Every structure is written in structure tokens, then in C-alpha cells.
Amino acid sequence: MTVIAVLGAGKIGEALLAGLLQGGRSAEELLFTERHPERAAELTERYGIAGVEVAEAAKRADVLVVAVKPQDIEPVLAELAPLVGPGSLVVSLCAGLPTSLYERRLPDGVPVVRVMPNTPMVVGEAMSAVSPGKHATPEHVALVKEMLATVGQVVEVPEAQQDAVTALSGSGPAYFFFLVEAMIDAGILLGLPRAVAEKLIIQSAVGAAKMLAETDEHPVILREAVTSPAGTTINAIRELEKHGVRAALLAAIEAARDRSVELGKAHE
């Protein structure tokens, strides 16, 4: 039995715990730490998972998953330092934070694996990218990949690519939610009842995502198949291009990458 402790069970920490439970792990294999007792009680009530102190998490868990905001990392590492050693395994989900930060703050030899997941892990559809730090062995990486594979898909990338990954797939679900929200608004503008607009757009998003995942066709081919000559879609595409939506996405994702780099630099 591999015991996994999530340090900081906020949005992504909770998504991981929920996804691991859904993926077949039992509540006894999972632990979390939280700084607000009411939040801890809420999570225990919802999932049956025990909230513990960091010392107990370090003692009982095989994998310590750090899921606090990057701005909150220093006290967590100070608390962890006397509790971990080369036999521990620390996994960081934190945007921007390099494994070298953990290696500097924790005792020599502690293996660290940097992971960028995303919230669809709650429905078993996460996209996670893993990068080992300098003390992480292939066995450590395999263990982390195995854990993440129960909540979605996993790739391994060089750590230098993690800021780009964070901007693309870490934040990615937010861009799709934003698009869906805007498209539902368009339905309201056209006079549809909200419930109808929501159903039309959400199912269209699900259908489009399944086609992308399952047909192996390039997105351009799939879009062209919707775009009939002198039809409706091309009129919409012309407006999207006129309003610079493609350029806006490139600039937005570049800005997210830059913020990830900045979050890492704050701890140099």
C-alpha cells in the first residue's frame, strides 16, 4: 500500500484526492494537511480522508504532495526539512517552483518530482506532466506516473519546459471554461433560455473534445468539416479572426508562461 499525503488540500489538492478515490484508492491510503480546521473537517466529512499534522503526514506517507500556492511554499519547506530524508519522496504541484528550490531547502538527497497537473483529475481526465529533480530515480518517477495515471494521462518533460506546460495544460481548462461561458452568453444574446444555451454548448464542447481525442484528425480538418461554403460557420470564423482571437490566445498563454517563470524567480 502506497500512502499519499497532500499538503495543502485546496482546489487542486482536493481534485487529486477525489480523483485518487475515484480511481480506486481507499481513504486509508490518503492523508491531507490543511491550515483551517473547518476546511479539514469539511474534507474528512466529504471523502472520509484523515486530516493530519505535517509531522504525521511525513511519518506515515510514502509520497508527500505539496499543493500550496507558490507564495506559501517557504513555511511548508521549513516545516518539512527536519521531517524528510533520502527515503522520502516529495512531489511538487506548484506552478513555477523548480525542483532546485526544494533541493536547496530540504536535506541533501531528498528526491523531488515536479508535476503540473490540471483540475480535470477530478473526473479522471487530467493532463499531468512530470519532471524529476536531481535526486529522483526512475523508480520515483515511475511511482509518481503510476499515481497520476489513475487520474488521467501523464507525460514526462524536461523541467525547462514546465513553465510552458503550466501555461498550456495547467491553466488550459480555464481557457475552455472561459470560452464556454462566453458562448453561453452568446446564446442568451440570441434569445435562448439559459438552460438550453448551456446544454447546447456543453454537449458541443464534449463532442468536439471527443472528436479531437478519438479521431486522430488535425483540428484544422475537423474545423473545415464544420465550415460549409457560403455557410454560417465561416461568417463566425471571419469575426473571430477580425477580433484577433488567435493572437489573443498566443499572447495570453505567453503571459501565463511569464508568470510561471516569475513565481519561480521569487524564491531564488
Ligand X SMILES: O=C(O)[C@@H]1CCC=N1
Q: Does residue 152 belong to the site contacting ligand NDP (CB under 6 A)?
A: no
Query: What whole-number distance in Å separates Cα of residue 184 and Cα of residue 197?
Result: 5
Distances in Å between the Cα of 140 and the Cα atoms of 18, 67, 110, 143, 155 are 23, 18, 11, 5, 15
The answer to the question of whether 15 is labelled as a binding residue is no
The answer to the question of whether 142 is labelled as a binding residue is no
Using Cβ positions, the residue closest to ligand NDP within the complex turns out to be 10
Nearer to ligand X, 59 or 69 (CB): 69
Q: How far is the CB of 193 from ligand NDP (least distance, A)?
A: 31
Query: What whole-number distance in Å separates Cα of residue 47 and Cα of residue 18?
Result: 7
Q: How far is the CB of 233 from ligand NDP (least distance, A)?
A: 31
35, interface contact from ligand NDP, ligand X, none, CB < 5-8 Å by kind: ligand NDP
Using Cβ positions, the residue closest to ligand X within the complex turns out to be 170
| Total of residues contacting ligand NDP (CB under 6 A) | 25
Give the binding range for ligand NDP (CB under 6 A) out of 4-12, 102-110, 196-204, 244-252: 4-12
Chain positions contacting ligand X, by CB under 6 A: 95, 166, 170-171
Give the binding range for ligand NDP (CB under 6 A) out of 63-71, 193-201, 210-218, 247-255: 63-71
Q: Does residue 46 belong to the site contacting ligand NDP (CB under 6 A)?
A: no
Q: Does residue 94 belong to the site contacting ligand NDP (CB under 6 A)?
A: yes
Distances in Å between the Cα of 104 and the Cα atoms of 82, 99, 108 are 13, 9, 8
Residue type, 256: A
Residue position matching grid coordinates 439559459: 194
90, interface contact from ligand X, ligand NDP, none, CB < 5-8 Å by kind: none
From the CA atom positions of the chain, what is the Rg in Å?
Answer: 21
Give the binding range for ligand NDP (CB under 6 A) out of 43-51, 111-119, 212-220, 239-247: 111-119
Burial class (CB in 10 A: 0-12, 13-18, 19+), 160: exposed
Nearer to ligand X, 83 or 253 (CB): 253
Sign of CA dihedral 73, 75, 81, 87: negative
The answer to the question of whether 68 is labelled as a binding residue is yes
Residue position matching grid coordinates 516545516: 79
Angle between helices 219-226 and 194-215 (to 10 degrees): 130
Q: Does residue 168 belong to the site contacting ligand NDP (CB under 6 A)?
A: no
Q: Does residue 13 belong to the site contacting ligand NDP (CB under 6 A)?
A: yes
Burial class (CB in 10 A: 0-12, 13-18, 19+), 138: exposed
Residues tagged in the binding site annotation:
67-70
